C-alpha cells in the first residue's frame, strides 16, 4: 500500500464524490433559491475563502445564488494561515477588501468587534431564508456564533475530533471490535495489546505542529482541565495539565510508530490507512481516505467514535464585515449559504455539515457514514482552543514542549512546567495579565 503525501491527501481524497455531487446539485434548484430577490442584481461581493476540494465545491455550488440574484461573488481562496492573517488585518485596519469571511472561531476575539450582527437577518433582508438556529448543536453554535450580545457568524462546516480503530486488529488482539474505548486509559491499555511486530497501538502526532497541540488540548480537557484558574492565571501545569502531558509522553508515545516526531495530519491519517497504527486520533477530513478501499487497508474494518472523555471543536462559519458597503447583499448570501435547505444539499455534496438535520439526513449518511458520530461528538463535552487573542502562540508553546518531551530531551513534568511559565510570560507581555 503506497504512502499518502501531504499534497495528495487533501487534493484527491474526495474529488470523485464531489464531482458526482456537483453534477447532481446542478440539476436541482432549492425553494430557498427560488425565493431569493433580484433587488441587489449587479452588486459584487468579495469573499475571503479557503482552499481544498470542499471549499472549491462550495464555490461552484454558490453559482446558483448568483444566477438567482444577479449578485456577483468574487472568491479569494487562501490557505488557513493566510486566511486568518488577511481576515484579522482586513477587519482591524478597516482596509475592507472583503465583504464576507469564511472564519474559524479561534479568531473571534480579534475579529468579533468588526463583524456585523446577524441576529435578525431573516427579518431585515427580504427573501433571506429562516436562520433555524435551533437546528445547530447547542455548544458549537455558541462557540462559532456568539460574540458578546451579537451573532457574529453563522456555522457552515462542523468538525470535532474523533477516535478510529482497526476492527480486524482488535479481533486479533482479543478486543471487542464493536466497542470504542471509553477512556484514554483504555486507549493505552488497548494499545499495549495491539502493539506487535510492525503494528503499533496509536498514531500519536508528536511533531512541532498543530495536531500535537490538538491532542494535548483534547486530553487536557478530558482530564478536567481548564486553561485558567479562578484568578485568570494560566493553569497549563495544573493537575490535569501535568496528567495529560505525562500520559501522552509516558504512555501514548510508547505505543506509537517511530518517526512520529515530525508528524502532522497527513501522517496521522496515513499511519491508520496503511495499518501501521491500530488506533488513532482523527478529524473528519481523514475519513475520505480511511474509508476508501483504494487508499486504505482498513476501509472495511474501520470503527469510529468521538474521542474519549472530551472532543476538540473545529469547523468554519460565515461572517460579514461590519463596514461592508453592500451589507444587505452580503447578509443575504450568508443567510442563503447557511440555511437549512442549502446546508442539507451541501452535506450530501461535501460531507461536512453543521446542522443536526444534515448530520442525520439518510442520503448524506449513506454517502458519509461518519456523520452520526460527528454529530454525537459535537453534542458531547466540547473543548475549544484558548479563548484569547493570539491563542495560536499558546498552541506553539504547547507543541514545542510536548515534542521535546516525546523526543526525550526533557521530562514530561519539565515540559508541563515550561508550558505554564512560557504562557504566563506571554500573557504578561501582551497585557492579558499585569506584569
* pTM exceeds cut of 0.75: yes
Q: Are 26 and 103 in the same domain?
A: yes
> What is the pLDDT tens value at each position of the chain, 435 positions in all?
334 443 345 444 445 455 544 444 445 789 999 999 999 999 999 999 999 999 999 999 999 999 999 999 999 999 999 999 999 999 999 999 999 999 999 999 999 999 999 999 999 999 999 999 999 999 999 999 999 999 999 999 999 999 999 999 999 999 999 999 999 999 999 999 999 999 999 999 999 999 999 999 999 999 999 999 999 999 999 999 999 999 999 999 999 999 999 999 999 999 999 999 999 999 999 999 999 999 999 999 999 999 999 999 999 999 999 999 999 999 999 999 999 999 999 999 999 999 999 999 999 999 999 999 999 999 999 999 999 999 999 999 999 999 999 999 999 999 999 999 999 999 999 999 998
> Which pLDDT value is given to residue 419?
98
Q: Are 318 and 305 in the same domain?
A: no
> Which pLDDT value is given to residue 3?
44
Angle between helix 210-222 and 391-407 (nearest 10): 90
Q: Are 117 and 34 in the same domain?
A: yes
Q: Are 246 and 302 in the same domain?
A: yes
| 293 occurs within a structural domain | yes
CATH number at residue 108: 3.40.190.10
> Which pLDDT value is given to residue 435?
81
| 435 occurs within a structural domain | no
Q: Are 239 and 368 in the same domain?
A: no
**Domain-terminating residue out of 359, 378, 397:** 378
> Which pLDDT value is given to residue 5?
43
**Domain-terminating residue out of 378, 396, 417:** 378
> Which pLDDT value is given to residue 1?
38
> Which pLDDT value is given to residue 26?
45
DSSP 8-state secondary structure symbol assigned to residue 228: B
> Which pLDDT value is given to residue 27?
52
Q: Among 271, 226, 228, 227, which residue's Cα sits nearest to residue 252?
A: 271
| 344 occurs within a structural domain | yes
> Which pLDDT value is given to residue 14?
47
| 20 occurs within a structural domain | yes
Residue 154, phi then psi, degrees to nearest 5? -115, 130
> Which pLDDT value is given to residue 68?
98
Domain total for the chain?
Answer: 2
Owning domain of residue 320? 6-158+314-378
Q: Are 176 and 154 in the same domain?
A: no
Q: Are 31 and 43 in the same domain?
A: yes
Q: Where are the alpha helices (DSSP H) in 93-238?
A: 108-111, 121-124, 138-145, 167-172, 184-194, 210-222
Torsion of CA 315, 317, 322, 323, to 10 degrees: 90
Q: Report pLDDT digits (tens) over 43-64.
A: 999 999 999 999 999 999 999 9
Q: Are 330 and 202 in the same domain?
A: no
> Which pLDDT value is given to residue 92?
94
Q: How many CB atoms lie within 10 A of CB 88?
A: 17
Q: Are 373 and 280 in the same domain?
A: no
Q: Are 366 and 388 in the same domain?
A: no
> Which pLDDT value is given to residue 25?
46
The string over 105-115, giving b where at least 16 C-beta atoms fall within 10 Å of a residue's C-beta and e elsewhere, is bbbbebbbebb
Q: Are 247 and 154 in the same domain?
A: no
Q: Are 181 and 152 in the same domain?
A: no
| 172 occurs within a structural domain | yes
**Domain-terminating residue out of 378, 393, 415:** 378
| 38 occurs within a structural domain | yes
Q: Is the dihedral of CA 84, 88, 91, 96 positive or negative?
A: negative
| 13 occurs within a structural domain | yes
Amino acid at each position: 500500500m503506497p504512502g499518502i503525501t501531504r499534497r495528495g491527501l487533501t487534493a484527491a481524497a474526495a474529488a470523485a464524490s464531489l464531482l458526482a455531487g456537483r453534477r447532481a446539485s446542478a440539476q436541482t434548484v432549492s425553494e430557498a433559491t427560488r425565493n431569493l430577490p433580484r433587488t441587489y442584481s449587479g452588486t459584487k461581493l468579495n469573499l475571503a475563502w479557503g482552499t481544498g476540494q470542499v471549499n472549491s465545491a462550495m464555490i461552484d455550488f454558490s453559482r446558483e445564488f448568483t444566477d438567482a440574484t444577479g449578485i456577483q461573488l468574487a472568491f479569494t481562496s487562501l490557505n488557513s494561515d493566510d486566511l486568518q492573517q488577511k481576515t484579522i488585518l482586513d477587519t482591524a485596519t478597516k482596509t475592507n477588501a472583503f465583504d464576507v469571511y469564511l472564519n474559524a472561531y479561534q479568531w473571534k476575539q480579534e475579529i468579533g468587534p468588526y463583524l456585523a450582527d446577524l441576529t435578525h437577518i431573516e427579518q431585515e433582508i427580504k427573501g433571506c431564508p429562516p436562520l433555524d438556529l435551533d437546528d445547530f448543536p447547542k455548544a458549537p453554535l455558541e462557540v462559532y456564533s456568539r460574540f458578546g450580545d451579537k451573532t457574529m457568524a453563522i456555522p457552515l462546516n462542523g468538525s470535532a475530533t474523533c477516535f478510529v480503530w482497526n476492527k480486524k486488529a482488535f479481533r486479533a488482539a482479543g478486543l471487542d471490535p464493536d466497542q470504542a474505548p471509553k477512556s484514554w486509559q483504555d486507549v493505552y491499555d488497548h494499545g499495549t495489546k495491539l502493539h506487535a511486530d510492525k503494528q503499533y497501538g496509536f498514531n500519536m502526532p508528536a511533531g512541532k505542529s498543530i495536531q500535537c497541540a490538538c491532542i494535548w488540548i483534547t486530553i487536557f480537557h478530558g482530564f478536567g482541565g481548564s486553561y485558567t484558574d479562578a484568578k485568570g492565571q494560566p493553569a497549563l501545569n495544573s493537575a490535569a495539565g501535568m496528567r495529560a502531558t505525562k500520559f501522552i509522553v509516558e504512555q501514548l508515545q510508547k505505543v506509537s510508530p517511530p518517526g512520529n516526531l515530525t508528524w502532522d495530519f497527513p501522517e496521522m491519517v496515513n499511519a491508520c490507512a496503511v495499518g501501521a497504527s491500530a488506533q488513532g486520533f482523527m478529524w473528519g477530513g481523514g475519513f475520505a481516505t480511511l474509508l476508501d478501499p483504494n487508499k486504505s487497508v482498513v476501509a472495511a474494518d474501520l470503527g469510529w467514535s468521538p474521542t474519549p472523555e472530551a472532543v476538540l471543536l473545529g469547523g468554519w462559519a460565515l461572517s460579514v464585515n461590519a463596514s461592508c458597503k453592500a451589507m444587505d447583499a452580503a447578509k443575504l448570501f450568508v443567510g442563503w449559504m447557511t440555511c437549512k435547505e442549502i446546508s442539507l444539499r451541501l452535506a450530501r455534496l461535501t460531507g461536512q455539515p453543521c446542522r443536526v438535520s444534515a448530520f442525520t439526513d439518510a442520503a448524506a449518511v449513506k454517502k458519509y457514514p461518519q456523520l452520526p458520530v460527528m454529530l454525537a461528538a459535537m453534542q458531547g463535552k466540547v473543548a475549544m482552543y484558548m479563548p484569547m487573542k493570539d491563542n495560536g502562540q499558546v498552541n506553539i508553546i504547547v507543541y514545542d514542549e510536548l515534542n521535546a518531551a516525546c523526543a526525550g530531551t526533557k521530562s514530561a513534568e519539565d515540559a508541563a512546567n515550561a508550558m505554564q511559565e512560557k504562557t504566563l510570560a506571554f500573557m504578561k507581555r501582551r497585557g492579558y495579565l499585569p506584569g
